[in-house]
Amino acid sequence: MFGKKARLDRLETVKAPMKSSMRENELVYTYVQKLERAVVVVRSRIQVIVLLRIHYFNGVTKTQAVQPEI
């Protein structure tokens, strides 16, 4: 029962865009692709920034912790 319902929903979502023009579909598709690429770029940049920050703060705390002992 659940499998059939899911399959029907999927068929309807595939049929629906065909009513609109092909050009519109292409535009939407390229827009989605651009969005996905942008998300990947932003995510990788955030990861780099976070890694750098962690590295920097670890370095700062280590040097501050070590200096008083010397």
- Mean pLDDT, consecutive 10-residue stretches, the chain (70 aa), reads 56 55 82 90 88 76 53
User: What local confidence, expressed as pLDDT, does residue 19 receive?
Assistant: 57
User: Do 29 and 36 touch, CB atoms closer than 8 A?
Assistant: no
User: What local confidence, expressed as pLDDT, does residue 11 receive?
Assistant: 55
User: What local confidence, expressed as pLDDT, does residue 22 receive?
Assistant: 75
User: What local confidence, expressed as pLDDT, does residue 1 receive?
Assistant: 46
User: What local confidence, expressed as pLDDT, does residue 2 receive?
Assistant: 53
Domain count along the chain: 1
User: Do 1 and 9 touch, CB atoms closer than 8 A?
Assistant: no
User: What local confidence, expressed as pLDDT, does residue 54 receive?
Assistant: 79
Q: Which residues contact 28 (CB under 8 A, 6 or more apart)?
A: 17
33 lies in some domain: yes
47 lies in some domain: yes
65 lies in some domain: yes
